[in-house]
Amino acid sequence: MAKKVHEVWKGNNIFFLGGRLIFGPDARSLLVTLLLIIVPVIIFCVFVARHLRHEFSSYNAGYAILVAAIVFTIHVLVLLLLTSSRDPGIVPRNSHPPEEEFRYDTSASVEVGGRQTPSLQFPRTKEVMVNGLPVRVKYCDTCMLYRPPRCSHCSICNNCVERFDHHCPWVGQCIGLRNYRYFFCFVSSATLLCIYVFAISALYIKILMDDHHSTVWKAMKESPASVVLMAYCFISLWFVGGLTGFHLYLISTNQTTYENFRYRADNRINVYDRGCLNNFLEVFCTKVKPSKNDFRAFVQEEPQRPPPMHTSRDAEAEDNTGDDRRMKVEDDLDIGGDLLKISQRHNIEDIEADIRSRGSDVPHHNSSEADSVLGSDRRTPAVQSDARHLSWGRSGSWEIANEGNYANPKEAHQ
């Protein structure tokens, strides 16, 4: 049975509801964030807002304080869910490197079979044009692609993310092209929620002081929950408030957190800055691009790739291989010929020794015949070498044996 994309996903993400929701590997930290938001609001509603329902008699305005706190909290939680449960802009990884970027590096050669062969290399960077200016992009070995401009590989999620800002552990997700808008709205809304809870808690203490004509210390003892909420919101404002201000600066200059920290000391020209107003419009008033990944789709079997085209380099390598094979054959033929000559020489020496031993019995005129026989034997190796060459082509190996027929002395005498 075919599997779906989220079932064979190579990143470190966690999926829910059949691939409808995607989280980072640290999604458990999202529970901590939920508690940090929900628990203080519950305390606020029970111990502060509930007592203010009848403090404003006209149109029961006191209920508005309680309703506003609940609605605002739901708004913050929805933004948190939109930030942490959606595709941040993951670039689909390739199943094989881009062949059009292959190149041979002759300087980094590899010795194979005693020969130096050029190694296959990828250019680590290449330049693309952004707003009329060249921008260098890097090759990602994990995703096997050249990252688009402003894209970076998140080591926690193990994905390349477009317009990568940072990986936020509080939301358990990368912040990138498709969820940065919701992330900023979540942080800024959390800041406003902290201010709201802090202000209403301080207002409740002021009402207690006026009702009992007491000091602030007595009012604080009367409502310790208000004191705790004020302290909690004050500390939280340093984080979410500072983060809101920092991202306002980044949006106005069209930077990401990653670019600001990495290239701060380089004094580079920001090719993405289009002016403060246009930068804000780009973040908040442009349509969110659709995801490049369909996590619920079935995995498509990759078609078989056609065999690579033979290039001049491949032809040259084949020619070199053919030359090596021809040299190997010629060496084998020379070795076989030498062995054959040695065997023929031994046979000739035996014939000459036999003729000398029979010198008294053989007439003088037969020496010329013997010489002619010896001359024919000396010419035999060339003929037999050709015969051995043919037999080598059939069997693929050499058989060192005397295949020639030699005339013995008796036949030469006759």
Active site residues: 168
| Alpha-carbon dihedral angle through residues 271, 272, 274, 277, given to the nearest 10 degrees | -150
What whole-number distance in Å separates Cα of residue 312 and Cα of residue 111? 21
Pairing of strands 166-168, 173-175: antiparallel
Question: How far apart are the C-alpha atoms of 34 and 224, rounded to whole Å?
Answer: 23
Q: Which long-range contacts (CB under 8 A, 24 or more apart) does 102-107 make?
A: 104/313
Minimal CA–CA distance to 362: which of 301, 311, 308, 410?
410
Contact 257, 166 (CB under 8 A): yes
Residue 357 contacts by C-beta under 8 Å, 6 or more apart in sequence?
Answer: none
Contact between residue 162 and residue 177 where contact means Cβ atoms under 8 Å apart: yes
> What contacts 11, CB < 8 A, 6 or more positions away?
90, 157, 158, 159
User: In terms of DSSP H, where are the helices of 147-241?
Assistant: 180-212, 216-222, 224-236
Distance, CA of 165 to CA of 125 (rounded, Å): 21
CA dihedral 58, 59, 65, 69 (to 10 degrees): -170
According to DSSP, the β-strands at 14-16 and 152-154 are unpaired
Give the sign of the dihedral formed by CA 102, CA 108, CA 112, CA 118.
Answer: positive
Q: What SS3 class is residue 119?
A: strand
Q: Among residues 119, 117, 122, which one has the least CA distance to residue 100?
A: 122
CA distance 333 to 388: 9
Burial of 176 (0-12, 13-18, 19+ CB in 10 A): buried
Q: Which pair of structure tokens corresponds to residue 23?
A: 């989280």
Report d(CA 240, CA 223) in Å as an integer. 26
